[in-house]
Amino acid sequence: MNELINRTAVIQSLAELALEYIDMVGMNKDDVHDALMEAYAKVVGNCIERVKSQPAVAKSIVRCGECENAMDIGQAYLICPMIDGCVKKDFYCAHGERKKDGN
């Protein structure tokens, strides 16, 4: 199943990780340790660039309350013919299409 993530939050988290590695340089007075910490920071920097280069989701999420497929019967739930069942207004699925008239 595809999951949506917050790209900005992931990049921020990776940047913080890279800074942690950089902060460890010089702590042990060991050249091998320092080289490893710098290499780890560089790898994390490369991960940030990979995350930045990933395409955004082409289709925005449409909640069932905004979907043209859902039928409001005046109850707590909507009827959805796409999944042949009842759904809450804040539910969503892969079949969602925003109502054309906005109502």
2 confidence band (pLDDT: 50, 70, 90): low
pLDDT of residue 73: 86
**DSSP states along the chain:** ------HHHHHHHHHHHHHHHHHTTTSS--HHHHHHHHHHHHHHHHHHHHHHHSPPPSS---BGGGBSS-EE-SSSSEEETTTTEEE-TT-B-TT--B-SS--
pLDDT of residue 103: 54
Tens of pLDDT, residues 47-95: 999 999 988 776 678 899 999 999 988 888 999 999 899 999 989 888 8
Put simply, whether the predicted model's pTM sits higher than 0.85 gets the answer: no
**Is domain 59-103 in CATH 1.10.3470, yes or no?**
no
Residue 86: left if φ>0, alpha if ψ -120 to 50, beta else—which one? beta
Domain ranges of the chain: 7-53, 59-103
